[in-house]
């Protein structure tokens, strides 16, 4: 079977279990070949199907996320190592970086704080965006911090990023120019499906209503956001009003930014 035919067949097989069957097939094939997806697509007529592709395809058909199979997830302008110890970075979260790029259009942030850093996706994307910035990533998981530190090393920014074990903003001294926050926001009884089933529960659930961690983060925002700075906070698409109600009493201004699908996704928090 040619590579082109194998990709078509794999797409059909994955259609029942994936929302992006063709993309999944291409990423798995490229991984099996040891090539980038773009290189694989350019050369597909000259390549043969590697023996281990069928095994990788079987793992995806069984529901395992592509990022866990390949160990890599692309986010913003960077590629990250990921494992089951961290939340798989989603394109929706790039909305936070987009909001920061707009806010700092005429200048660059010097200091960045990432609360709940996980794989380091948000902080490392920001450090790649602003090459002179320094950043701190906080997480309650030592395993996640190890992955974030390795990602910083692989991206060559480990001299600009510090990762610390912590409980949100407790013991963190501000202020910072830019805060990036992607807390758990799923209610305990909300149904889940797809790749999210493989994410760490601690990175997903936040009490009965999904707001427990926002309640803890909101009071710390006034001391953490520097003059002219901002916080970009990810939310569930039905949580804008609830989280704004938690933040505004602390004397802060809040705006909502939507993701590419048109869903409320990011709260932009600034000083009044």
Q: What is the pLDDT of residues 25-66, one digit of tens each?
A: 999 999 999 999 999 999 988 899 999 999 999 999 999 999
Residue from 7, 92, 13 nearest 60 by CA: 13
pLDDT at position 50: 95
**Cis ω for the linkage preceding 16 (within 30 of 0):** no
User: What pTM did the predictor assign?
Assistant: 0.93
Q: How many helices (H) and strands (E) does the chain have?
A: 11, 9
Whether the pLDDT of residue 193 is over 90: the answer is no
Q: Which residue ranges does the chain devote to CATH 1.10.8.10?
A: 3-70
- Residues 141-155: pLDDT tens digits? 999 999 999 999 999
Residues 253, 270: Cα–Cα separation, whole Å: 5
Task: Assess whether pLDDT exceeds 90 at residue 198.
Answer: no
Query: Which residues, 6+ apart, have CB-to-CB distance to 115 below 8 Å?
Result: 138, 168, 169, 179, 180, 181, 183, 217
CATH of the domain spanning 3-70 = 1.10.8.10
| H-helix segments, 196-239 | 212-217, 221-224
User: Given phi > 0 = left and psi -120 to 50 = alpha, else beta, which region is 34?
Assistant: left
Buried b / exposed e over 76-94, threshold 16 CB at 10 Å, is bebebbbbebbbbbbebbb
Cα 244 to chain centroid distance, Å, stands at 22
Q: Which residue ranges does the chain devote to CATH 3.40.50.150?
A: 76-271
pLDDT at position 1 over 80: no
Architecture of domain 76-271: 3-Layer(aba) Sandwich (3.40)
Average pLDDT, the chain: 95
């Amino acid at each position: 079977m040619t590579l082109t035919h194998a990709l078509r067949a794999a797409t059909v097989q994955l259609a029942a279990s994936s929302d992006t069957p063709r993309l999944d097939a291409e990423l798995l094939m490229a991984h099996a070949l040891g090539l980038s997806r773009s290189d694989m697509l350019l050369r597909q007529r000259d390549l043969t199907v590697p023996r281990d592709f069928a095994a990788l395809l079987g793992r995806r058909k069984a529901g395992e996320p592509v990022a866990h199979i390949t160990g890599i997830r692309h986010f913003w302008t960077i590629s990250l190592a990921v494992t089951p110890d961290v939340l798989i970075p989603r394109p929706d979260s790039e909305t936070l970086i987009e909001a920061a790029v707009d806010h700092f259009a005429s200048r660059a942030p010097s200091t960045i704080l990432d609360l709940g850093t996980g794989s380091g996706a948000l902080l490392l994307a920001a450090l790649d965006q602003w090459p002179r910035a320094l950043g701190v990533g906080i997480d309650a998981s030592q395993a996640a911090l190890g992955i974030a530190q390795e990602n910083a090393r692989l991206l060559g920014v480990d001299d600009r990023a510090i990762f610390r074990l912590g409980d949100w903003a407790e013991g963190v001294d501000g202020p910072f120019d830019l805060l990036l926050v992607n807390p758990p926001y799923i209610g305990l009884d909300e149904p889940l499906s797809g790749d999210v089933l493989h994410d760490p529960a601690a990175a997903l659930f936040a009490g009965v209503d999904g707001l427990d961690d926002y309640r803890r983060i909101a009071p710390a925002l006034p001391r953490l956001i520097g003059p002219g700075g901002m916080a970009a906070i990810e939310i569930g698409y039905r949580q804008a009003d609830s989280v704004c109600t938690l933040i505004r009493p602390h004397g802060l201004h809040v705006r909502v930014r939507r993701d590419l699908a048109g869903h409320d996704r990011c709260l932009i928090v600034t000083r009044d």
